[in-house]
Chains A and B, each alone.
Chain A
Amino acid sequence: MSSSGTPAGGDAVPGPSGEPNHLRRFLAIWIGCSVIATPLVAILLGPLLPPGNGSDAASGQVTDNTVLLSMATPVLLLVVVYLVYALLAFRQPRGAALEGPAVRGHQSLQTLWIVVSGVLVLTLAAYGTVRLETGYGAGSGNGPKPLTAPKGEKLPVQVIAQQWAFTYRYPTYGGVETTHLELPVGKTVELHVTSLDVIHSFWAYQLGVKADANPGVDNVAFVKPTKIETFEVHCAELCGIWHGGMFDHGHVVSDTDFESWIAEQQARFAATTKALPKYSTTYTPEPLERGE
């Protein structure tokens, strides 16, 4: 009586008189909803998705999120519509104690599911890899040796994370260090993120950049800001008491504004810049160990 074999499905055949073809109904509802929802998501919702279009990395992520959301919509609808349909259509009548059909599986349906979900998953993985590498890391920290880097001139900026503030160093401008990040619009920036003490994470939201700051490590991220705007910088890795308070606001400004700003910073901090150690991708300042 207890077969674990694979009897024929019998689902596609209309049931006894009066019983609707549930499979056809469910598929119709699901496909209908997907056909309506997926283009809405892809075309209307997509461009509005975070993190916005403040940089090439951010815009790339908006595209990726759109693709992911568009692929997720039919899957979400499949399960949710199915759940609602099955729970409404196949109920135990009040007061009854009926049994359902003793169907234990359906080989071809299982195979179809495995194949389709396998294809979906592999496609996503391939898509993600392509986007990651053609996007030069897509705004994420690539470690000291990125696989790919944008060609052409890049503005190197070092982000120094310490407990509990970010400071920024411009090696091509005399190694001047500043408290705020200002970047010229339209130029590719090569960020070198490092930490002086514990693990922090540099997260410039509107630029779509997140790179962990590890002590003794140079974490490289690439970004090209495309809009003149103010962006939020938050620490994204718990680093102690003021992790939540470790934030500031950076600015993407025009080329000329940037040049005048950096000149002003160089002038203001001339004496302090001399006291700074030589620019390097990592630092290990004193004191290091227990005891002063």
Chain B
Amino acid sequence: MSATTADAASRPAQEKPLWRRLIGFNLLTAVILGVGGYYLGWWIGHLVTEGKSFEYTAATDENDVALLLAYFFGVIGFLIGLGFANYPISRLLGKPASLREKEEHGIGRYFGLCTDHKVVGIQYLCGIGLFFFIGGLNAMLIRTELLHSQPTFTGPNQYLSLVGMHGTMMMGMMTSGILGPFANYFVPIMIGARRMAFPRIEALTFWLLMAAGFILTSTIFFGGFPTGWTGYEPLNDQAVMGMDSYICFFALVGISMCLLGLNMMATIITMRAPGLTWSRLPIFVWSVFATSVLMVLAAPMLVATLLMAAFDRTIDTSFFLPAGGGSSYLFENLFWFFGHPEVYILALPGFGIVLELLPVFTRKPLWGYRLAISGMLGVSLLSFFVWQHHLFVSGINADLRPFYMLSTEIISLPTGFIFLCVMGTLWKARTSFTVPMLFCIGWVFNFLIGGLSGVFLSDTPSDTTTHGSFFVMAHFHYTIMGGLIFAFFAAIYYWVPKMLGVNFNEKLAKAHFWLMFVAFNSTFMPLFVLGMEGQARRVNFYEPKFHTLNVWVSISAFVLGFSMLIFLYNTVYSLIFKREVALQNPWRSKSMEWQVATPVPVNNFEQIPVFDSDPYDYGTPLVIGDTRVGGAQVQGG
């Protein structure tokens, strides 16, 4: 550890040896305590299930109680090891309140509990990226299996588990896909604050998600789960131990989502800098707010539902088992009451990103700011009134169907507002086709197709054929992947130069976009046809007449996967080898986060700024030599 290295990173004169630095509340301790907690829970579970009521555990060689307790204690141990219990305990012992924990420099703070919102943002970006690629690998395996009209490569159990893991991982991880990395990093800066309202909770939401992702991947050691991401009862009850991994995963994700939303709302409501009224808030922050409302209200429903499912699986309750007096419909309704707001949690941040980026690359103010806000809030509100459109053919009370058809049709109205705002912003613009702009344009096209296909699905007669078919798959992949993921990459290419201080290689980035856009459409457009022609979801047998189209889709999916590798290569190349230093404001944006230095200083601002307008002051003449006109002014005080 010589002090004379080639780069100028300063080191303290005396440094603790590596082994001393490893002792303490960090990731290593967390893993050790997590494993310890796992075995403790397992042992307690076996102790508890020795009685007569748990005879089934001997007959089935499966002990759900043990696994659930093992996961529970494992997560507790993990969180204690990271140091999340330190502050509550120190306060209980009377120590004074403090805000900062472990914000020293170095790469080590990215692997532990850090209360710097910028560190948490980058942790989220890497963590979610990791699980996104794991989910993507599952999808590649699924499409490999679907190259043949009969099961060929994967066993049927593993196939269903792959289908379930892909869906569950993606849904659980990408709900925080934009809020986690980008809202955590940039919302405080955009509103002129030094931190989030609850920094430790912010860190907690990240580590809960990481623990959850690990738990979900561990399902393969316990036999996987056969229900897909929707976890329907009574199949849920019938499933082997791997189902408990799904239950734990979503419970942790639900808690993480709820806390994330709460934190965002508290920050946006209470910590805006002077002069930043609601009508001057960046549209991205509005979308984060609208999403947070949904997260806080919908996520607890999921946690409660899964707790009931866990009870059904372990202590013989019958919430969802008709034979015991329960109802399978109850699960469907409870799940989709969460599930529908969930998909708007996925869609809204995408709206926010695109509307935030378009003004920068069209050099015009955002067109229809108030309309966009009412669109987002309208979507938020209405998303709670549409969930039974997932149950049109399931035998729900026939009186309800016209109402849900109406409400589902109506929710396309506020979504349409967003499109009008996009179109208005593009009118008579000065568009430059940077990589983030390309992804935004991709978003517009993909979400249009996704949204229009949703109109077909909301029409009950048409839904009779398309429910549960590949048409639905195409619809939600267009809105979630074509929508959210394209916005996710737009945000990455837009903001990572600010976050990490290095630029991406533009040629590779454009190659990534074009390959991804073409491959994405090639993969998912035929699925509309396959669904309408009669191929059901989640199947490993299909009619031989669908073979050619399925081969086409699978090959396109492999190309889509390859385009992600281009992105990965670009990341590694730009981050490690090229390290081209990014300008402070390469996009000449008027938004607050671009007015601070790159990389962003620890306290964000020297002085809290005072706002006098929204960040869409484009269209005014430039003052020569200064790229920071209009928008936020940094003043004394």
Contacts and interface: CB of A to CB of B under 8 A. Distances in A.
A and B touch in the complex (CB under 8 A): yes
A80 B445 contact: yes
A234 B534 contact: yes
B420 A113 contact: yes
Contacts of A1: 613, 617, 620, 630
A236 B467 contact: yes
A87 B392 CA distance: 40
B619 to A, nearest CB: 3
A216 interface: yes
Nearest to B411: A121
Interface stretch (B18-26, B68-76, B429-437, B515-523): B429-437
B461 A131 contact: yes
Nearest to B432: A92
A135 to B, nearest CB: 6
Given A137-B398, A146-B398, A100 B619 contact: yes
A89 B185 CA distance: 36
A181 interface: no
Interface residues of B, number: 105
Given A64-B459, A103-B365, A86 B427 contact: yes
B464 interface: yes
A99 B363 contact: yes
A129 B402 contact: yes
Contacts of A141: 393-395
B299 to A, nearest CB: 24
Interface in A82-113: 82-83, 86-87, 90-93, 96-106, 109-110, 113
B395 A211 contact: yes
Nearest to A51: B465
B464 A210 contact: yes
B81 interface: no
B444 A288 contact: no
Contacts of B362: 90, 100
A163 to B, nearest CB: 9
A145 B401 CA distance: 13
Contact of A51 (B151, B532, B537): B532
Among A11, A121, A133, chain B packs the most CB atoms within 10 A around the CB of: A121
A147 B399 contact: yes
A272 B398 CA distance: 36
A199 B235 contact: yes
Contacts of A142: 395, 398
Nearest to A291: B56
Contact of A284 (B322, B468, B533): B322
A121 B428 contact: no
A17 to B, nearest CB: 16
A68 B455 contact: yes
Contact of B463 (A80, A140, A289): A140
Contact of A87 (B232, B431, B464): B431
B129 interface: no
Majority secondary structure, A binding face: loop
Interface string A232-252: 101111111111110100000
Contacts of A68: 455-456, 459, 462
A80 to B, nearest CB: 7
Contact of B406 (A51, A99, A125, A290): A125
Contact of A289 (B316, B409, B449, B458): B316
B371 interface: yes
A46 interface: no
Contacts of B238: 197-198, 240
B462 A64 contact: yes
Contacts of A197: 234, 238
B398 A145 contact: yes
B459 A198 contact: no
B328 A60 contact: no
Contacts of A166: none
Nearest to A286: B323
Given A105-B367, A203-B536, A247 B541 contact: yes
Interface in B380-405: 392-399, 401-402, 405
B455 to A, nearest CB: 6
Given A11-B427, A132-B401, A234-B534, A244 B542 contact: yes
A219 interface: yes
A28 interface: no
Given A128-B460, A244-B541, A144 B369 contact: no
Contact of B534 (A60, A146, A205): A205
A278 B377 CA distance: 54
A43 interface: no
Given A51-B465, A140-B393, A243 B538 contact: yes
A237 B395 CA distance: 13
The 8 closest A-B pairs by CB, nearest first: A102-B619, A244-B539, A138-B461, A219-B395, A236-B468, A216-B322, A100-B364, A2-B613
27 contacts: A22-B427, A49-B532, A50-B534, A65-B456, A68-B459, A80-B448, A83-B444, A91-B431, A92-B432, A93-B430, A99-B364, A103-B619, A117-B416, A124-B459, A128-B460, A140-B460, A193-B395, A201-B468, A209-B464, A210-B465, A212-B394, A215-B234, A215-B328, A237-B232, A241-B226, A244-B156, A291-B55
Interface of A: 1-2, 4, 11, 22, 49-51, 57-58, 60-61, 64-65, 68, 72, 75-76, 79-80, 82-83, 86-87, 90-93, 96-106, 109-110, 113-114, 117-118, 121-122, 124-125, 128-129, 131-133, 135, 137-147, 193, 197-199, 201, 203, 205, 208-212, 214-219, 232, 234-245, 247, 284, 288-291
